[in-house]
Chains A and B, each alone.
Chain A
Amino acid sequence: MSSQLILGLDTSGPHCAAALIDGDTILRAHGEDMARGQAERLMDLLEEVLAAEGKSWSDLSALAVGTGPGNFTGIRIGVSAARGLALGLKIPAYGVTGFEARAHVSPTSARIAIPAPRDMVYVSDDQGTRIIPAADVTDAAPNPTPADLATGAALHAAHLWPATPEPPAPFYVRAPDAAPARDAPPRILT
């Protein structure tokens, strides 16, 4: 079987993570916890993972990026980098949600609950994707490590490749925080 090298990346939480897989074989996965500085660290981390396996950008067949839900800025960092890499390398970039990625690396019996601010979690079921109190989920799967998240994203993409994907887009779940203008215009007299 010819090589099908996929680089997965995830910055949807307080971390930077990458995983390199060939088909279903995990070559290398690496994650670093960080509350800030993902934008500065991500590209070097990706190049380090490639270099550690003796690979370069041009060896890649596809990219996979975690699209969240999670930290808005974090998922935009990953998605923007992946879209830039995809445009430059002329290879597909697959957007993989945190639910899809976790399904590849979590026990199948547990419920996937993705951490959200203020003791809430994102869940996804037949009622859709929403935010509920973390305490309401008693059978939650343990949150995977950043390296596992990137691995899950890459494994998910491996099953989609070589189909042409929609460009990866952040999976926000929450609407943007914006209030309509308050100041009512004056009445115009005729």
Chain B
Amino acid sequence: MMTPTQTLLGIESSCDDTAAAVVRGAPGDMHVLSSVVFGQAELHADFGGVVPEIAARAHAERLDVSIAAALEQADLGLDQIDAIAVTCGPGLIGGVVSGVMMAKGLSAATGLPLYGVNHLAGHALTPRLTDGVAFPYLMLLVSGGHCQFLIAHGPDKFERLGGTIDDAPGEAFDKVARLLGLGQPGGPAIEAISAHGNAVRFAFPRPLANKPGCDLSFSGLKTAVLRARDDLVAAQEGLHASDQADLAASFQAAVRDSLVGKSARALEAYLALNPHQPMFCVAGGVAANMAIRAGLEAVSSDLSVRFLAPPLSLCTDNAAMIAAAGIEQMAVRGPDGMALSARPRMPLDTERAGMLGSGKKGAKA
């Protein structure tokens, strides 16, 4: 059966980017008509991290503006849209609720079907949007809030092989950048200064490297960098530029090695499925780091698996991936009703026990 071409409005507000986009196409064959992202970095700059209440306030007053801008850039009216897709979790609940209510209001007003999309599914389905990659493919989602290996079997079927048991790498990059007196966001700052650093001066840990499975940990690494910095500060009352560069480079190498080592394990599990066109895809802001990307590319190529990193604008949070996930999913399921919930926790793979926050509220991701 031919799937008809659909034009979807996507809405994303789960962290610190308010985004709207219009995507047109059919599953595996889509293109972005517009993608608007209003970042909030300047609002959170003084606080050393995303402040949930500040983020929620900004989303509530920017969502409709970003939607109007996305429609205008696509040169379309709401009457030329076929459905609305909105991130309904996981994420900072204040922003997710605003996005979901905005989408419900639009849906009620226009009669357009409403699809609640898991933010992680948006990232995980991005290779379908950018390159029409065939299922099943292996996905590493690595960002400021998430880190997990997934096998994408279908538009709504994901198998988690493993992930971080504590912090996400992007979070660690930001934290370490602050420890070293570098700017935010930490990823680009650390990558830039690492180019001049000695990556073997500090022997930082590669946690869980010798444990079986694909789980990762970055919290201890952060602490190890803090200790090394404090030792230097205690000995010489500050850091030399060379210390900053060496600490940054040694840290980046540890993150790279952890991700590369576990990628090899994940690839092994994935290749056991005998995929017809094996493909290893990466998404999330940390995928922009060239040292990490080169390491992932190398391990992939060693196993004769094609490697794909979507362009950065579709790797970091955006609404085009949400619209695309909507197009993928509307081929296999019906729309959500007006009782659609916004969820702070929303694991993608519901069949496996969650790795994070497995308390009484359930798994986060």
The chain A residues found within 8 Å of chain B, CB to CB, are: 39-44, 46-47, 57, 72-73, 76-77, 79-89, 167, 169-170, 172, 176-183, 185-190
**Chain A positions within 8 Å of B364 at CB level:** none
**Distance, CA A57 to CA B94, complexed state (A):** 27
**Could you mark each residue 100-132 of chain B with 1 if its beta carbon is under 8 Å from any beta carbon of chain A, else 0?**
111111111110000000000000000000000
Question: Could you list 17 further interchain pairs (A-B, Cβ under 8 angstroms) beyond the known A182-B48, A187-B239?
Answer: A72-B94, A73-B93, A76-B56, A76-B94, A76-B98, A76-B101, A77-B97, A83-B63, A83-B64, A87-B109, A88-B109, A172-B57, A179-B47, A181-B48, A185-B181, A186-B179, A189-B238
- Pairwise interchain contact B51-A176, C-beta atoms closer than 8 A: yes
Q: Which of A72, A183, A189 contacts B236 (CB 8 A)?
A: A189
Q: Which of A39, A88, A178, A188 contacts B53 (CB 8 A)?
A: A178
Q: Which of A40, A178, A189 contacts B54 (CB 8 A)?
A: A178
| Given contact pairs A76-B56, A76-B60, A88 touches B239 in the complex (Cβ within 8 A) | no
| Given contact pairs A39-B100, A72-B94, A167-B64, A180 touches B105 in the complex (Cβ within 8 A) | no
**For the complex, would chain B's binding face be called helix, strand, loop or mixed by DSSP majority?**
helix
Number of interface residues of B (CB under 8 A): 50
Q: Which of A47, A80, A178, A185 contacts B102 (CB 8 A)?
A: A80
Interface contact tally, CB-CB below 8 A:
146
Q: List 18 A-B contacts (CB under 8 A).
A: A43-B104, A43-B338, A77-B97, A79-B60, A80-B102, A83-B63, A84-B108, A85-B106, A87-B105, A88-B106, A169-B60, A176-B51, A178-B54, A181-B46, A181-B47, A185-B178, A185-B181, A186-B229
**Chain A positions within 8 Å of B97 at CB level:** 39, 73, 76-77, 80
**Distance, CA A80 to CA B107, complexed state (A):** 13
**Chain B positions within 8 Å of A176 at CB level:** 51, 53-54, 57
**Distance, CA A172 to CA B53, complexed state (A):** 11
**Distance, CA A51 to CA B349, complexed state (A):** 39
- Pairwise interchain contact A87-B68, C-beta atoms closer than 8 A: yes
- Pairwise interchain contact B241-A87, C-beta atoms closer than 8 A: no
| Given contact pairs A181-B46, A186-B180, A186-B181, A42 touches B101 in the complex (Cβ within 8 A) | yes
- Pairwise interchain contact B105-A84, C-beta atoms closer than 8 A: yes
**Distance, CA A82 to CA B104, complexed state (A):** 10
Q: Which of B104, B109, B237, B338 contacts A89 (CB 8 A)?
A: B109
Q: Which residue of A lies closest to B77 (CB)?
A: A90
**Chain B positions within 8 Å of A170 at CB level:** 57, 60-61
Q: Which of A167, A180, A186 contacts B46 (CB 8 A)?
A: A180
